Chains A and B, each alone.
Chain A
Amino acid sequence: EPEVTQTPSHQVTQMGQEVILRCVPISNHLYFYWYRQILGQKVEFLVSFYNNEISEKSEIFDDQFSVERPDGSNFTLKIRSTKLEDSAMYFCASSDLAVTNTGELFFGEGSRLTVL
């Protein structure tokens, strides 16, 4: 069964360092997302990406965050200068249809980011 894969599974970084989280969405999907989950809290939307551009972003997704689809398979989330409060599990998701058109999101297993 096709699945969304994420790397690394866990990354520890120093505050102020740049981090890139990588995702390989399901191959025929067109919509890509990043969500995050701070330990013990609910899953929060960060950004959606379609047709090589951001289609929607939350207030969390400030200038320190960026996303890119550098080739036909990878989808990356970059945090330019990490803060302690960026420590969370970051989930990538993809779908073949827009959520608003009842597109089912398939989530990866997440990348745990720990900022020291």
Chain B
Amino acid sequence: GESVGLHLPTLSVQEGDNSIINCAYSNSASDYFIWYKQESGKGPQFIIDIRSNMDKRQGQRVTVLLNKTVKHLSLQIAATQPGDSAVYFCAENQGGSEKLVFGKGTKLTVNP
């Protein structure tokens, strides 16, 4: 069945450190992946996405890595700031479907 999950439910880092949030997926037919950030009391906010024909994509302070061999997705945040504290979800999409399947989320806490 479909399953998108995360290895760790919480992650605590020091301000200025780099953060790595991981995600495993099981649907090998998924070809589009997105990372969302959800701050307390708000809706998910798009961070970065990647299609399955790529293995790396960079944005501003964020990088997404995709390893299709082991069905693994990661989000790297450089120089983590207190404003990065939130719950991070990975989501997957299978071509032809409008549905995003979300993982359970990792709560990132940035300590000053």
Residues of the A chain whose Cβ atoms lie less than 8 Å from the Cβ of B103: 42
- Residues on A with C-beta less than 8 A from B97 are 56, 99-100
Chain B interface SS verdict (over half)? loop
Cβ of B25 under 8 Å from chain A: no
CA distance A105 to B44 in the complex (A): 9
B98 touching A99, Cβ below 8 Å: yes
By a CB distance below 8 angstroms, the chain B residues around A35 are 100
In the assembled complex, A28 has its CB within 8 A of some CB on chain B: no
Contact flag A31-B46 (CB < 8 Å), given A41-B104, A42-B89: no
The residue of chain A having its C-beta at the shortest distance from the C-beta of B6 within the complex is A42
Closest to A91 in B: B43
* B41 contacts A100, C-beta separation under 8 Å: no
What 1/0 mask marks residues of chain B from 73 to 112 whose CB sits below 8 Å from any chain A CB? 0000000000000000101010111111111110000000
- Among A11-19, A43-51, A64-72, A74-82, which stretch is in contact with chain B? A43-51
Query: How big is the B interface, by class?
Result: 20 to 34
Q: CB < 8 Å: which of A41, A55, A108 contacts B43?
A: A108
Instruction: Say how far A4's CB is from chain B's closest CB, in angstroms.
Output: 8
Q: Which residues of B contact A73 (CB under 8 A)?
A: none
The answer to whether A43 and B99 touch across the interface, beta carbons within 8 angstroms, is: no
Q: Write the residues of chain B forming the contact surface with A, with a CB cutoff of 8 angstroms.
A: 32, 41-46, 49, 51, 89, 91, 93, 95-105
Chain A positions within 8 Å of B, measured between CB atoms, are: 4, 31, 33, 35, 41-45, 48, 50, 55-56, 58, 91, 93, 98-100, 102, 104-110
Other contacts beyond A41-B104, A42-B105, A43-B44: 13, CB < 8 A: A42-B89, A44-B102, A48-B99, A56-B97, A56-B98, A91-B43, A93-B43, A98-B98, A99-B99, A100-B32, A102-B51, A104-B46, A106-B46
List the 10 closest pairs (A to B, CB-CB), nearest first.
Answer: A107-B43, A48-B98, A43-B102, A45-B99, A56-B98, A42-B102, A42-B104, A107-B44, A91-B43, A104-B46
